[in-house]
Amino acid sequence: MRRFLWLPILLLAGCATTPVEVQRPAQPDAPFTFNGRVAFKHGEQRESAGVRWVHSPAEDEILFLAPLGQTVARIHRDANAVTLDASGQHHAAQDMETLMQQELGWQLPLSGLRYWVTGLPAPDGQSSIERDANGQMSVLRQQGWEIHYTRYAAVAPDALPLRLRLTRDDMEVLLLIDDWEAQ
């Protein structure tokens, strides 16, 4: 009977996982996927949603999700165009910023954001960077935006960010990343 008392403990130990330190991809525009939450504030307008972003150098797919996980909007970028599908309507433009301006009345810097979410400045344009004591980026200023990095997946200079706050004029975006898949 005593030898069976150890069985549940051994089974539970076999289920334990070691935490994985998520590190920034080696290449600046490497593929990644993340799931999280996003909140937008523009003047008096406030919106929030779940978000799933699948990125590769050739294309992006960004899904905005309702609280129960239903897709409420989908942004897709490929070499030909950028499309936004929401509320049964389909919209297209040549780049993400133009599409956001057309449909929402404000620009979200999605072409820069694909770098910023990995803790890197976008390669096109000047930037100003502040780092914390661990060598991690704490503030990035680029393209008229100020990006504050307030939480990382690990305490290492190449760890991926988990919490970003972007501000520009009267626009504020809070991005909380729950899980990363970086390649």
Asked if residue 99 lies in contact with residue 86, where contact means CB atoms within 8 angstroms, the answer is no
pLDDT of res. 20:
41
Instruction: List, as one string, the DSSP characters of 115-155.
Output: HHTTT---SSS-EEEEE-TTS-EEEEEETTEEEEEEEESSS
Taking all residues of the chain, what is their mean pLDDT, rounded to a whole number?
A: 85
pLDDT of res. 7:
39
Q: What phi and psi, each to the nearest 5 degrees, are found at residue 77? A: -125, 135
pLDDT of res. 136:
93
**CATH code of domain 27-182:** 2.50.20.10
pLDDT of res. 110:
82
> Does residue 14 carry a pLDDT above 50?
no
Q: Which residue has the tokens 């000047």?
A: 126
Q: How far is it, in rounded angstroms, from Cα 59 to Cα 130?
A: 30
pLDDT, tens digit (0-9, with 9 covering 90-100), for 92-144:
998 888 888 887 777 778 889 999 999 999 998 899 999 999 899 999 999 99
Q: How far is it, in rounded angstroms, from Cα 102 to Cα 93?
A: 9
pLDDT of res. 25:
66
Would you kindly state where each structural domain of the chain is located, as residue ranges?
A: 27-182
Q: Which residue has the tokens 């799933």?
A: 52
pLDDT of res. 98:
86
Asked if residue 75 lies in contact with residue 110, where contact means CB atoms within 8 angstroms, the answer is yes
pLDDT, tens digit (0-9, with 9 covering 90-100), for 42-100:
889 899 999 999 999 999 999 999 999 899 999 999 988 899 998 899 999 988 888 88
- Token pair belonging to 4: 């069976």
